[in-house]
Structure 1
Amino acid sequence: MDDFSVYALLGVSDPPRRLLSAGGKRQGSVAVAPHIHQVVVFAHGAWRRRRDVTVELSATDGQPVAVGALTPHHKCLLWDRWEGEVGKEGSTLTVTLEGDGPVGTFKRSAMSPLFSLQNSTAAPLVRDPPRKRKRGQEDARDGRAGERENVCPNGSVSDTAAATPHRKVRGKARGRQACLFAQSEEHTSASAPQTHKAKGKQCRAPAQTASLVIPSGRWGQTLCPIDPQTAILIGGQGSRMQFCRDPMWKLCAEDMSWVPAETLAGGPTPEARIGHTATFDPESKRIYVFGGSKNKKWFNDVHILDTQSWRWTMVEAQGKVPPLAYHSCSLFRGELFVLGGVFPRPHPEPDGCSDALYIFNPEMAIWYQPIVNGHRPAPRSGHSACVLQGKIFVFGGWDTPVCFNDMHALDLGLMEFLAVNTSGPSPSPRSWHGCAVLSESKFLVHGGYSGNAALNDTFVFNAETSCWSAVVNTQLSAAPRAGHSIITMAKPSKQGSAVDEEQEGPEQTLLVFGGGDNEGGFFSDLTTVAIDELLH
C-alpha cells in the first residue's frame, strides 16, 4: 500500500495536518493565522516516481511570500516569519503534487525565507542542542565596528586601504538570528547557472550538477575532506560583511550535492568566524577547528568535530597560544603545526603578523613551542602551507604593506627552516590564495589577493626540482577570486565502469569553492578539474 503523504506543522504546539495523500487530490491548502511564526512542511512515505511537491505561502492579498519544493532528497521545508514581513493579516499554505517522473528542480523567489533539511521526517523548530553563544551577545558583536579585523578582499576599497589588512565595518547586522539554515538570494535553481551581482558587475558561476540547495556565497571559510568523497564546509563571510547564517554544509563528491549540516552534529558548535583553519586527522576521524576572527573578537579556541559520533567538543587545552586568524595549520604525525597569522594588539596600535610556530598535541591537549633552527619566514598572514616529503612548504602571504611570493620549508625531522630557491615562472606576490597537494611531490597555488586585486592564475610547484610551472586552465581562470577553498577528492566513477587493475587508486579531482572577486561579489560555485589535466 502506498502511504505517501505531505504534512504541515503550524507553530510549535500544532499537531501535524495532512494536506496530501496517495490517491487523493493533487493539491491541498490550509490557512495560516497571523500569530503563526513558523511553518514546517514535510513528506512521509515512499516517493517512488513522484517528481516533487511545490510549496507556496501566499498573503491574503495574493502576494507570494515563499516558494519551495519537497523532493526525494529534501523532504522537509521550514518557513520562519521575519519581523515586518508581509502576511500580517494571515496567509494560505498551498502544496501541489507535480506528478510522476524523475526528480525535478525548483526555483525560489528572492524574498523566500524557506529552509531545507536533508532526509528529515520532522523538523525541530528550535535547534538542539542550542548554540553556545547567547543571541543578544552575538547580535551585539555583529553590529559593532571591527576596527582591526583583516580586510575582506571583496569590499570596494581605496588604494591606501588595499595595502593594509585592517578595515572598518559600517552598519549593523540584523538583530534576528536565523533558525536552522537561512537561504540567501544566491540560492537559485540547481539546474540553472548562478548569477551573483556585484556593484555593476556580474560574476557567472558554473551550474551545480545535482544539488537543490547550495551554500551562500562567501570567503574566508574552510572546506575539509573527511573521506574520499565527503567534505565539510565551515564558516565564512558573505555580502555586506555579514557572517554566513548557513555556516556548516556537507559536500558529497559523488554527485556534487550539498546538505545543510549544522544540526547534524550535537554539542557546542563553534561561533561564526572567518580566517580559521579546519584540519582533519584520518587516524582519529576528527576535524580540529582553530582560531579565526569575528569583528572585534579573535579566537584561540580549539573545537573538535568527531565525524564518527557527529558531536562537537571544545578543548580545555594547557599551554598558551595567542588568538590568531589567517594562519596556516598542518597535520604531521597526529600534531597540528600552526604558523604565522594575524593577532590583535591594543588600540590604537595596528594588529600584527606573527612568525611564531605553535604545536598542538591533541592526545595531551597541550600547546607548546618547539625549538626551531634556521631562518624562519618573515611574519605574515594569509599564506599557504602544505606537507610534502617530510617538510612543510610555506608560500606567500602578507604583512602590511608587503605582499610575499617567497618559499620556505620546515624540515620536520631536523626542525629547521630553509629558504627555498626556486626556478621557473613563479607566482606573483599574493595572499588568501588557494593551495592543494596534487601528488607526493607537487602542490598547486591558485588565485589570491595581490593587495589591489583578486587573481585567477594557477601554478604548480615541484618539491623535488624546486621548480614552478604555470598552468593554463580555462575553468580555473574563469573568474579572479581570493579567500576561496581548494581540496582534492576522489573522482566519481561512472556507473557500471570497472576500475583499472593497474591503477593504484581512484582518479583524483580538484575542487574549488567560494571566494570573492574584490569588487563586492562573493561566489558559491563549485568548480571541478581532473588532476591529470593539471599534471600533464
Structure 2
Amino acid sequence: MDDFGVYAIFGVDEPPQQILSRREGWQSSTEIQPSVQLMVLFTRGDWGKRDSVSVELADERNIPINMGKLTPFNKCLSWESGEDGVWSSGATLTVKLIGGTTEFLDPGLALSQMECTPEYIPAVPALRECPGKRKRSQGEEKEEEVNEGRGKENICPKASEKVTPQRQSKNNHRGGQTRLFSQKEEQTATSSSQSHKAKGKQAKTPLQTAPLDKPSGRWGQTLCPIDPQTAILIGGQGARMQFCKDPIWKLCTEDLSWVPAETLAEGPTPEARIGHTATYDPESKRIFVFGGSKHKKWFNDVHILDTQTWRWTLVEAQGKVPPLAYHSCSMFRGELFVFGGVFPRPHPEPDGCSDSIYIFNPEMAIWYQPIVNGEKPAPRSGHSACVMQGRIFVFGGWDTPVCFNDMFMLDLGLMEFSVVKTGGTAPSPRRYLKSLYLLRVNCHKE
C-alpha cells in the first residue's frame, strides 16, 4: 500500500496534520492563520517514482511570498512568522506533487541524483598552461586540430593535463549544455542508452551511489556568503576534467554542516562553468553570477539567484561586455564593478588579459563602461579585489609570464586609479588569490 504523505505542523504545540495523500489527490491548499508563528512541512513514507513536492506560500492577495521543494534528499522545510518575505497577516499554503506514479521504485535499483564518481574519459596529456596569455606553437596547433571536438577543459593546477579554456568550436560535439541544478536530461539519455544495449540480454542491476554529505573535490568554484551563518557554493570542476555533478551547496557555519541546495532553486540555471564570479547584494538579497568558461566556451551572461524565493533568473542585458573568466566583481551601491580577467581571441592569437572596468546596473539591466583616469593597473587575471570605504583595492594577479604583487586603488567617486604605497614587506607575487574586508568594532565598557 502506498502510504506516502505530506504533513505540516502549525505551531510548536500543535500535532502534525496530513495535508496531502494519495487518496486526496495530487494538490491541496491550506489556510494559515495569522496566529501561527511557526510552520514545519515534511514528508513520510516511500517516495516511489515521485520527483518532488512543490511548495508555495502566498499572502492574502494570492501573491507568492516564499517557495521551496520537498525531495527524497530534502524532506523538510520550515518557515517562521516575522522573517523577511514570510506571512504576517495570514497566508495560503499550496503543495503539489510533481512527477512519478503510485508505483514503488525498488531503492536497490535507484541511483542517487548526486553521483560521487564521475565517468572516466581518457585524454591526451598536454603541457601545463594557465588562463592568461599563451602562445601556440606549430606543434600545438597541429595537436589542437587532431584533438578538436574532444571538449578538453581547464583542469586542476596539480593535475597532469593543463589546457587553457578556448573558444567553443562548431565541431565540438562534447560541449553540450550542463545544468547546474538538474541532471534529469542526462539521466534520461543514459537510461535510454542502457535500455537499448540491454535488448536480448539479461539486464544488469545498476549500482546504488550513496548521497553526498559534503561537496565533492573541485576547483574554479565560488563560495558566496549571504549572512553571518550561511554561504553558498556554486560550480567548479573536479577530477578527470569533469564538471561537478553536485554543483550547489549551502554551508551553515553554526554547526559547520553542508546541505545540498540544488533542489531548492527553480528557473533557468547557469550552465556549468569555472572562473566565474558570484557576488551577493545584501540590499536585494540576490547573488549575481557572471562570466566564466567551459571547455572552449566563454560566457558573458548574468544569472541572478534570489535567496528569498530560491529562483534563478537569466538577465537579458543591454550594452556590451566581453566574455571574461578569472576576473573580479565588486558590489557598490547596487551596481557590479567588473575588472580584468581573461578573454578569448580568434585563433591563432593568444588569449588576452583585460585592464578595463565594466559596470552592470541590475535595475536598468544594462552594461556600461565608465571613463577612468589615473594610473591604471596592467592587464591581469586571477587577481583579488575588495571594496572599502568607497574604494576598490586590487592586488596581485598575472598576465603570462608576469605575476604581480602590486596594489592599486580605484576611487569610486572620482573614478580614478592610483598606486597604493604600502609599508613593510609586501606579499610575494601570486595569482588566483582572494581578499576580504573585515569590519572591526570596538566596544567600551562604562
Alignment of 1:505-516 (within 5 A): none
- Map of 2:382 onto structure 1: 382
In structure 2, relative to structure 1, the CA distance for the partners of 1:41 and 1:229 (3 Å cut) is: closer
TM-score by length of 2: 0.58
**Is contact 1:6–1:41 with CA below 8 Å preserved after alignment?**
no
Q: Contact 1:7–1:42 (CA<8 Å) still a contact in 2?
A: no
- Normalising by structure 1, we get a TM-score of 0.49
Distance 1:7 1:92, change over 3 A: closer
Two-structure CA RMSD over aligned residues (Å):
3.9
Q: Which amino acid aligns with 1:261?
A: A
Q: How does 1:394-473 map to 2 (within 5 A)?
A: 394-439=394-439
Distance 1:402 1:290 in 2: 26
Cα displacement string for residues 375-410 of structure 1 (whole angstroms, at most 9, x for unaligned residues)? 110000000000112211101111111111111111
Q: How many residues are paired up?
A: 297
Where do 1:40-439 residues align within 5 Å?
Answer: 93=107, 113-115=111-113, 144-145=149-150, 152-156=156-160, 180=182, 213-439=213-439
SS state at 1:434 partner? coil
Residue 439 of structure 1 and its aligned partner are, at CA, apart by 2.8
Summarize deviations over 1:425-445 as a string: whole Å, max 9, x none: 22111111132222369xxxx
Distance in 2, Cα, partners of 1:337 & 1:151: 28
Letter in 2 for 1:155: A
CA contact (8 A) 1:340 1:354 kept: yes
Asked whether the equivalents of residues 376 and 417 of structure 1 are also in contact (C-alpha less than 8 Å), the reply is yes
Distance in 2 (alpha carbons) for counterparts of 1:386 and 1:429: 18
Deviations 1:84-105 (A, max 9, x none): xxxxxxx97579xxxxxxxxxx
Change (3 A) 1:427 1:299: same
Q: CA deviation at 1:146?
A: 5.6
Taking the aligned partners of 2:175 and 2:356, their CA distance within structure 1 comes to: 37
Judging changes above 3 Å, is the alpha-carbon distance between structure 1 residues 418 and 231 closer, same or farther for their aligned structure 2 residues?
Answer: same
**Secondary structure at 1:7's aligned position in 2?**
coil
Is the CA contact 1:116–1:213 (under 8 Å) kept in the aligned structure 2? no
Change (3 A) 1:395 1:326: same
Q: Give distance in 2, aligned partners of 1:43 and 1:277.
A: 27
1:174–1:391 distance in 2 versus 1, CA, 3 Å = closer
Which secondary structure does the structure 1 equivalent of 2:337 belong to? Answer: strand
Work out the CA distance in 1 between the residues paired with 2:44 and 2:155.
50
Q: Is the 8 A contact 2:339 2:357 kept in 1?
A: yes
Contact 1:146 1:167 survives alignment (8 Å): no
| Alignment check: 8 A CA contact 2:165 2:296 kept | no
Contact 1:7-1:43 within 8 A present in 2 as well = no
Would the aligned equivalents of 1:151 and 1:167 in 2 still touch at CA under 8 Å? no
Matches of 1:42 and 1:229 in 2, distance apart?
A: 22
- Tell me: CA distance 1:144–1:260, structure 2 relative to 1, closer, same or farther (3 Å): farther
Show CA shifts across 1:52-106 (max 9, x none): xxxxxxxxxxxxxxxxxxxxxxxxxxxxxxxxxxxxxxx97579xxxxxxxxxxx
Counterpart-to-counterpart distance in 2, 1:244 and 1:346? 29
Please give the secondary structure, in 2, of the residue aligned with 1:240: helix
What SS does the aligned partner of 2:329 have?
Answer: strand
- Residue 207 of structure 1 corresponds to none
Could you tell me which residue of structure 1 aligns to residue 46 of structure 2? 7
Identity %: 67
Residues 372 and 416 in structure 1, CA contact (< 8 A), matched pair in contact too: yes
| Partner-residue secondary structure (3-state), 1:431 | coil
Question: Quick one: distance in 1 between partners of 2:311 and 2:107?
Answer: 36
CA separation of 1:265 and 1:92: change in aligned 2, threshold 3 A: closer
Q: Is the 8 A contact 2:383 2:434 kept in 1?
A: no
Query: By how many angstroms is 1:229 displaced?
Result: 0.9
User: 1:60 — aligned with what?
Assistant: none
Between the aligned partners of 2:249 and 2:75, the Cα distance in structure 1 is: 24
**3-state SS of paired residue (2:435):** strand
Q: Distance in 1 between matches of 2:111 and 2:178?
A: 13
- Please name the residue that 2:134 is paired with: none
Distance 2:221 2:266 in 1: 21
Alpha carbons 1:388, 1:440 under 8 Å: kept: no
* Distance (Å, rounded) in 2 between the aligned partners of 1:151 and 1:220: 9
**CA distance in 2: counterparts of 1:286 and 1:248, whole angstroms:** 15
| Deviation of the 1:225 alpha carbon | 1.1
Alignment gaps of 5+ in structure 1: 14-39, 46-90, 96-111, 118-142, 183-210, 442-499, 504-536
Question: 1:422 and 1:311, CA in 2 relative to 1: closer, same or farther beyond 3 A?
Answer: same
CA offsets per residue over residues 119-144 of structure 1, 9 Å max, x none?
xxxxxxxxxxxxxxxxxxxxxxxx94
Instruction: From the two aligned structures, give the one with the greater strand fraction.
Output: 1
SS at match of 1:153: coil
Aligned match of 1:517: none
8 A contact 2:276–2:326 mirrored in 1: yes
Residue identity matched to 1:367: W
Contact 1:286 1:304 in 2 (8 A): yes
Tell me how far apart the structure 2 counterparts of residues 353 and 368 of structure 1 sit (CA, whole Å): 19
Shift of 1:156: 2.6
Structure-2 change in CA distance of 1:263 and 1:358 (3 Å): same
Conserved? CA contact 1:181–1:246, under 8 Å = no
> How far apart are 1:245 and its partner, in Å?
1.1
How far off its partner does 1:269 sit?
Answer: 0.4
> Residues 262, 152 of structure 1: CA spacing in aligned structure 2 closer, same or farther, 3 A cutoff?
same
Query: Does the 8 A contact of 1:165 with 1:400 survive in 2?
Result: no
Inter-partner Cα distance in structure 1 for 2:339 and 2:301:
15
Residue by residue over 1:232-288, the C-alpha shift from the partner in whole angstroms, topping out at 9 and shown as x without a partner, is 111111111111111111111111111111221111001100111111111111111
Change in CA separation of 1:150 and 1:418 when aligned onto 2, cut-off 3 Å: farther
Q: Confirm or deny: 8 A CA contact 1:405 1:428 kept in the other structure.
A: yes
**How far off its partner does 1:113 sit?**
4.9
